Amino acid sequence: MIPSKNYNEGSQGQYLKISKGGMTLKTFLVTLSKKIEGELTDDLLHRHVDYLKFMNQNGSLIMCGPFVDKDGAMMIFRCHSSNK
C-alpha cells in the first residue's frame, strides 16, 4: 500500500499528514531559536538529548541538529499530534 500524503493547516500549524494502513501520522518541523546565555545547563542538555534519543528509538524523530551558525536548531517529528 502506498501512503497517501496531503498538506493541512490547522490549530497545530502547518503539517504533512501521512496515512498508511488506517493510521494517520503528521510530520512536524520544530525550530529552536533565541538561546539565552546560561539557560542551557548541562542537566537540561542531557535531558534534552535523552528525550531525542527516546523519540528516535520509537520512530518519532526523523532528524534533528543545530543550525550552521549555532544560534538555533531544528527537529522533525512524525507523530499523531504535536502534544508528544
Please report the domains of the chain, with CATH numbers, ordered by start residue.
Answer: 4-79 (3.30.200)
pTM, rounded to two decimals: 0.64
pLDDT exceeds cutoff 60 at 19 = no
**Which residue matches cell numbers 494517520?**
24
Q: What is the pLDDT of residue 12?
A: 44
Residues with Cβ within 8 Å of 64's Cβ and at least 6 positions away in sequence, in order, are 52, 73, 74, 75, 76
**Mean pLDDT on 49-65:** 92
Most confident of 21-25, 38-42, 45-49: 45-49
CA distance 66 to 74: 6
pLDDT exceeds cutoff 90 at 38 = no
Asked if residue 19 lies in contact with residue 4, where contact means CB atoms within 8 angstroms, the answer is yes
